Amino acid sequence: MIVTKMALPRRTFLRGAGVTLALPLLDAMVPALTASSKTAAAAPPRLGFFYVPNGMHMPLWKPKTPGAGKDFVLSQTLGGLQDLKQYVTVLGNLNNYSAGLGDGGGPHTRNQSAWLSGVLAKSGEADVRLATTADQYAARGLGKETVLESLEICTDPSDQVGSCDNGYSCLYVNTISWKSPTVPNPMERNPRVVFERLFGEESDKQARLKRMRSDKSILDTVQSDLSLLGVKIGAGDKSRVDEYLQAIRDAELRIQKAEKQSQNSDVALIERPVGIPETFEEHTLLMLDLIFLAYQADLTRVATFSIAREQGNKNYNNIGVPEGHHECSHHQNDPYKQSQLTKINTYHISLMHHFYEKMAKTQDGDGTLLDHAALVYGAGQSDGDLHSPLDLPVLLVGKLNGKVKGDRYIDYDPKIKQPMMNLHMALLDKAGVPMDHIGDSTGMLTDI
């Protein structure tokens, strides 16, 4: 660990045998000034893109009327975010015209792949082509100072091959992130792999496996640096570091629990990947916590999370939805299926609330992580029954260093035909990564 008399370097690490832990932003990382002029550390922006499949039941997703502050009332589906309303911006009538209209071949593939690219996917299994996605443009600019340029994760398997949706390559549904028009970014669903990418450097695979099997923590290997750090920082910073290390240990224990469950399972006919929690909820919350840790330690400033895959038909028995998700999205105006779809939509928001709340409660320089982030949540289609890429469900959470106002519902005039890419253009510009265009963008939103 490198420590100067003036301040801790911003990129200060705790090191152990095969382990490197980046520290969160601390006040001690500000150059020493006079007592009266010293300010909290300035924080970098974080961007996140969180995708859900199969559309929404839009009448209960959209707030009833546009407005701000007290005039902005959250919809039924979004009501669970009331305590974080100051950070919430709902956007209506953003469109992905590039996905193509109508119910033609491969609508799920077209809608998903256009969500971050603004480009129509090329059909066929062999000649795959899309475009560099917004998250990767962000990564090129914001990832220059971080260990990882970006983090791409998912919960559903992303290893399908061949044709997945009416002649479109499975590559399009395996990921929502593309490094270039012909290079998709693989998305990782195993939390152990993500954890090791963030915190483990062990070159000796056997040593890593030995530590994992003995239930020892990676924190055990950095105790000497941790003791030295304690002499150099104040009580406030020490409390911040302790909370951060406890969050790492908590994630580590949950991963070890999932691995033991997998290894001890009596189910012989089903392949159970080691490290994947048994339930969708446990899996999703753990992956969200890993993104949170990555943001907190400034290991990456750009994350992309596919919460479930398009056409995914998992049921949600835990919330009273035994029917499949995709089945409910094709409701054909059946009130029962619409109510079941609303339960799923609301449940996903409740999982995101866990993540948003932790971001809002975690100090980060001169504010909180949520003060410094812009997190886009939504789907590539609005009404899943129609596969419509128009008037998309778009939720923006966070204030991006004061550059996003929050506490508003903006419903654009449909006559303007506002592309979804104009939102991504605006967010990248506010994050310090200006773009001339992305996909079918026509400019950038100026009122968020």
Task: State the DSSP string of 69-98.
Answer: GGG----TTTGGGGGGGGGEEEEESEE-GG
DSSP calls for 109-143: HHHHHHTTT-SPPPPBSSS------HHHHHHHHHG
Average pLDDT of the segment spanning 256-270? 52
What is the pTM (predicted TM-score) of this model? 0.85
- pLDDT recorded at residue 296: 93
Token pair of 205 as six digits: 């695979």
Q: Which of 160-164, 227-231, 270-274, 434-438 has the highest mean pLDDT?
A: 434-438
**Helix or strand (DSSP H, E) at 238:** helix 235-263
- Describe the crossing of helices 235-263 and 223-232 by its angle, rounded to 10 degrees: 160
Asked whether the beta carbons of 166 and 318 are under 8 A apart, the reply is no
Beta strands in 214-277 (DSSP E): none
Picking from 204, 178, 186, 199, the residue whose alpha carbon sits closest to that of residue 247 is 199
With vertex at residue 312, the alpha carbon angle to CA 307 and CA 317, rounded to the nearest 5 degrees, is 85
Domains and CATH numbers, the chain: 1-42+193-275 (no CATH), 43-189+281-288+300-448 (3.40.720)
Residue 33 binned pLDDT confidence (cut-offs 50, 70, 90) = very low
Q: What is the pLDDT of residues 406-424, one digit of tens each?
A: 999 999 999 999 999 999 9
pLDDT in tens, 340-353: 999 999 999 999 99
Collapsing DSSP states into helix, strand and coil, what is residue 254? helix
Contacts 24+ apart (CB under 8 A), 70-79: 72/407, 72/408, 72/409, 76/342, 76/346, 77/342, 77/345, 77/346, 77/349, 78/349, 78/395, 79/346
The pair phi, psi for residue 288, each rounded to 5°, is -65, -40
